[in-house]
A = this chain, B = another copy of it.
Amino acid sequence: MADLLVKCMAVLTMDGEDGIIKGGEIAVRDDIIYHVGPAGSTPGDFTPERVLDYPRMVAMPGFVNCHTHAAMTLFRGYADDLPLMQWLNEKIWPLEALLTPEDIYRGTLLCCAEMIRGGTTTFADMYDAMGRVAQAVDESGMRANLSRGMIGFGARGEKALAESVEFIKEWHGGAGGRVTTMFGPHAPYTCPPEFLKKVIAAARELGVGIHIHVAETKDEIKEINEKYGKTPVALLEEVGLFELPVLAAHCVHLSDSDMDILVRRRVGIAHNPQSNMKLASGVAPVTRLLEKGAVVGLGTDGASSNNNLDMLEEIRTAAFLQKLYTGDASALPAYQALYMATAGGALALGMQDQIGRLVSGLKADIILMDMHKPHLYPLFDIYAHIAYAASSADVHTVIIDGRVVMENRRILTLDEDAIMARAHKCAEELVQRSANNGNG
């Protein structure tokens, strides 16, 4: 890849709140950040083949979406405003049962196009047909951590575990290192302890982590308590899950001792505020968790419970929700919310030495935000503007792994029109198949 120099109004390194370099520049060599500093500070031996000179833009690390189900873009708007169990039982699960690997590939491409346009450069996904998901990620130029979701009962669990092992062996470190993997046991209430122990053994053997839903709803807390006499977090601790690197999605309903376990074990928490609101799940105690020193990233969850994959919306909602929930307008300030969406997310995925900050030696995953818009004037505070006023459409250029993936809002790696048309067709046929099966 060509050496690249990015010059802009300011660089937000996200490596500390004072890490704003006004009139900054970033030198990119191959897939790596070679240098970050004030204008003119790049060493003389760096002779870029291309200069992106954008004096009205702010450069920052690409967003890390810590929890989604990419292919569920196909269900966007298919079923809304329903109670969770009715939504799953009557709408989502019947449709999911009919998905083909080709559908999942198409839905993931649509997801990637949307995420690139919103400045997301890395995402953590849990779904099915993960080889096809990895293929879509590879084509899009994105970075992703992929898990084959597993329901851990009986033969279905065994099959899912075998497929997971196969997928991890094939894809971990794939797409030029842009694809990493984890095991994806769905949740404590869908994966009994015996199954989780097998997953732990396999993860230990393959040297990968575990992505799991934890403590999302009150019903889950009740069910696990009735069955095991403890909280989901305590159960997972007892099973030994947290001895491995874990990415725990949601963590809405936590006791004080649950929080202490998550902090002590350095569990990566994927906070999904919009999904938790839309499904009426509750409010994760993010302010308390951060006070205790927890590792917290942000996620969108799937597009059918959100209904988009917009990390700037999650940043804003996360901050506003904590202010409301704690009754303290100073809770979760702008920098901290942006940190969760970048460096914090990298930590949650165990990728802090590769992504999440703009410092030399890390991967060149960079976005440029165009600040020359009425809703971003005047400019007193860049962090506040991005956290509280900017929108995904302000993302002008996206660089992933040193490669310009979007420029001036045109994606260079994917054919967006074809992707939209095919996703439309997939969704239409899916609903037709569902109707033929006697569903809704």
Binding site for B on A (CB under 8 A): 73-74, 76-78, 80-84, 87, 110, 113-114, 117-118, 274, 276-280, 282-283, 303, 306-310, 313, 316-317, 319-321, 323-324, 326-331, 333-334, 372-375, 377-381, 384-385, 388-389, 391-394, 416, 419-420, 423-424, 426-428, 431
Residue of B nearest to A421 (CB): B377
Query: A77 touches which one: B320, B381, B423, B424 (CB < 8 A)?
Result: B381
Contact present for A324 and B280 (CB under 8 Å): yes
Q: State the 6 A-B residue pairs at the shortest beta-carbon distance, nearest first.
A: A393-B393, A378-B427, A277-B320, A81-B333, A307-B388, A77-B384
12 CB contacts below 8 A, A to B, read A76-B377, A78-B381, A278-B323, A280-B326, A306-B388, A308-B389, A310-B375, A313-B316, A374-B420, A378-B424, A380-B431, A391-B391
Question: Is B276 in contact with A324, judged by CB distance below 8 angstroms?
Answer: yes
Q: Choose from B277, B308, B427, B431 the contact partner of A324 (Cβ within 8 Å).
A: B277
A420 surroundings in chain B (CB, below 8 A): 372, 374, 377
A110 to B374, CA, bound (A): 6
Q: How many copies does the complex hold?
A: 2
Q: Which residue from chain B places its CB closest to the CB of A378 in the assembled complex? A: B427
- Decide if A328 touches B389 in the complex (CB within 8 Å): no
**How many Å from the CB of A252 to the closest CB on chain B?**
11
- In the complex formed, the residue of B with least CB distance to A320 is B277
Residues of B near A80 (CB, < 8 A) are 333-334, 381, 384, 388
When chains A and B are docked, how far (Å) is the Cα of A426 from the Cα of B378? Answer: 9
Q: How distant is the Cα of A431 from the Cα of B334 in the complex, in angstroms?
A: 21
- Flag if A389 contacts B76 (CB, 8 Å): yes
Shortest Cβ distance from residue A23 to the other chain B in the assembled complex, whole angstroms: 17
Q: Is the CB of A308 within 8 A of B83?
A: no
